[in-house]
């Protein structure tokens, strides 16, 4: 709609007034509102517009600053959540690996370096599978090679 209004040579104030009425009548979902504003700003850059008032410039700058701050805050929050999740996963893997290593050493004696390395690099699913096999295995080979794990 904004593009059509610009093409029909509406002046900037008339377009702003129309958008004010539309904003008053209905509120777009945040994501759509962001997309609309981006498209309007892009369109304004393409179309030669008359003087932008200092109040409009201030509003634009304030909006950009607020958007950057919100983006940074959301990014930090998402980063912390991802970090916690990765940390929990790594901690779980390390804990299960250490426990299985202790159980294997107790059952079969000193573990070869290759077995310790395999435990350290295993997924949680592999470790859980091997932990179940230790109950019936008669050798290290049966723990790791039985059923082709």
Residue whose C-alpha is closest to residue 41's, from 22, 25, 57: 57
| Cβ density class 11-46: b for 16+ within 10 Å, e for less | ebeebeeebeeeeeeeeeeeeeeeeeeeebeeeeee
pLDDT tens for 54-64 read 677 777 778 88
Can you tell me the distance from the alpha carbon of 98 to that of 107, in angstroms, rounded to the nearest whole number?
A: 14
Residue 103: exposure state from Cβ atoms within 10 A (0-12, 13-18, ≥19)? middle
Largest Cα–Cα distance in the chain?
86
CA atoms within 13 A on the CB side of 105: 13
Query: pTM score, two decimals?
Result: 0.47
Name the residue ranges covered by the structural domains of the chain. Answer: 68-148
pLDDT tens for 31-43 read 877 787 777 777 7
pLDDT tens for 62-75 read 888 888 888 888 88
């Amino acid at each position: 709609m904004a593009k059509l209004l610009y093409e029909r040579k509406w002046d900037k104030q008339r377009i702003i007034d129309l958008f004010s009425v539309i904003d008053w009548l209905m509120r777009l979902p945040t994501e759509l509102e962001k997309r609309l504003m981006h498209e309007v700003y892009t369109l304004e850059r393409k179309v030669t517009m008359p003087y932008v008032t200092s109040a409009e410039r201030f509003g634009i700058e304030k909006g950009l600053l607020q958007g950057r701050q919100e983006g940074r805050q959301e990014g930090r929050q998402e980063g912390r959540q991802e970090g916690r999740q990765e940390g929990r996963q790594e901690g779980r893997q390390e804990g299960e690996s250490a426990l299985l290593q202790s159980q294997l050493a107790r059952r079969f004696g000193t573990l070869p370096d290759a077995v310790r390395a395999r435990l350290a690099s295993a997924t949680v699913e592999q470790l859980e599978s091997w932990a179940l096999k230790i109950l019936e295995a008669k050798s290290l080979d049966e723990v790791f090679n039985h059923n082709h794990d």
